[in-house]
């Protein structure tokens, strides 16, 4: 009996936390489909009208394209800049990893508003497009996730031996990196890319303060809708949740596939 109570209490706590986290998402999703939901427990009716209205809105389409573009470009920059450095640190200079770990902590310690203020002060008199500054800033914000994911990918095998054997066989360093290293860390690269893309997709503070209305992303557009149209905002929030859920599902499947491949080896 005592053992049963010991297992029941943790389950109840987990259930309560799950309800607390999931209930707002369910309520928002129901509200996005409702014709009217004011004084009743459940919506009075269901409709796709609000979804059709939002998708047909050119402001939504433009915000979605900007957010996707920001996410894709940030991911490309992050992989291009960080991957060679992490490869070098793991294969040829392990002592560098301690410094990299310190650098990856900085995005957590510097609030976004302070970062934006500093960027504006430094670059306001320099002829650099603010969109470039935004891309680089968001790329740096994604560094902790990108670094940790790619660093974990290099732990599983002796990549130095693989790389040097490829060089001995006549491959040039760049060709050896592309033909030998990249195929063996492709799961890590894909996971890091998705995490970087998600970070850029959900970025709000830096984008809003640096560019504001000149570059309205999905998050900025969502905040504007919240102040004017509750149901349209619920629709956009539901779509955003769906995108994140899809990315999360893909991440889980990739990790499971990678785990099963290692077990077979």
Secondary structure of residue 34 in the 3-state scheme: strand
Contact of 74 with 135, CB cutoff 8 Å = yes
Across residues 121-138, what is the average pLDDT?
79
Backbone angles phi, psi at 93, to 5 degrees: -145, 75
In sequence order, which ranges of the chain are alpha helices (DSSP H)?
2-33, 49-55, 58-91, 96-109, 112-123, 130-141, 143-153, 159-168, 173-176, 182-184, 186-201, 205-210, 218-226, 230-264
Taking 80 as the threshold, does the pLDDT of residue 232 lie above it? no
Mean pLDDT of all residues belonging to the chain: 81
pLDDT at 147: 87
Confidence of residue 1 (pLDDT cuts 50, 70, 90): low
Instruction: Give the length of the chain.
Output: 265
Confidence of residue 115 (pLDDT cuts 50, 70, 90): confident
pTM over 0.85: no
Span(s) in the chain for CATH 1.10.3720.10: 57-264
Per cent of the chain over pLDDT 90 is 2
Across residues 246-258, what is the average pLDDT?
76
pLDDT at 205: 79
Across residues 101-120, what is the average pLDDT?
76
pLDDT at 2: 55
pLDDT at 127: 75
Compare 103 and 112 and report the one with higher pLDDT: 103
Q: Which overall architecture, per CATH, does domain 57-264 show? A: Orthogonal Bundle (1.10)
Contact of 113 with 205, CB cutoff 8 Å = yes
């Amino acid at each position: 009996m005592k053992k049963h109570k010991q297992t029941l209490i943790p389950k109840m706590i987990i259930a309560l936390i799950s309800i607390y986290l999931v209930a707002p998402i369910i309520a928002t999703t129901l509200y996005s489909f409702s014709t009217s939901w004011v004084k009743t427990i459940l919506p009075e009716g269901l409709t796709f009208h609000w979804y059709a209205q939002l998708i047909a809105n050119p402001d939504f389409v433009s915000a979605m394209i900007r957010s996707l573009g920001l996410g894709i470009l940030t991911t490309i920059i992050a992989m291009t800049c960080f991957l060679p450095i992490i490869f070098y640190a793991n294969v040829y200079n392990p002592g560098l990893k301690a410094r990299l770990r310190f650098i990856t902590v900085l995005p957590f310690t510097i609030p976004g508003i302070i970062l934006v203020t500093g960027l504006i002060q430094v670059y306001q008199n320099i002829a650099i497009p603010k969109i470039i500054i935004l891309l680089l800033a968001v790329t740096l914000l994604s560094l902790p996730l990108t670094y940790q994911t790619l660093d974990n990918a290099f732990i599983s095998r002796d990549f130095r031996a693989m790389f040097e054997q490829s060089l001995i066989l006549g491959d040039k360093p760049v060709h050896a990196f592309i033909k030998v290293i990249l195929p063996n860390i492709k799961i890590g690269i894909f996971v890091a890319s998705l995490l970087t893309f998600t970070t850029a997709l959900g970025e709000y503070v830096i984008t809003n303060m640096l560019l504001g209305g000149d570059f309205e992303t999905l998050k900025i557009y969502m905040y504007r809708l919240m102040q004017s149209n509750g149901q349209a905002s619920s629709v956009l929030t539901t779509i955003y949740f769906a995108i994140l859920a899809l990315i999360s599902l893909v991440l889980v499947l990739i990790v499971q596939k990678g785990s099963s491949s290692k077990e077979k080896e």
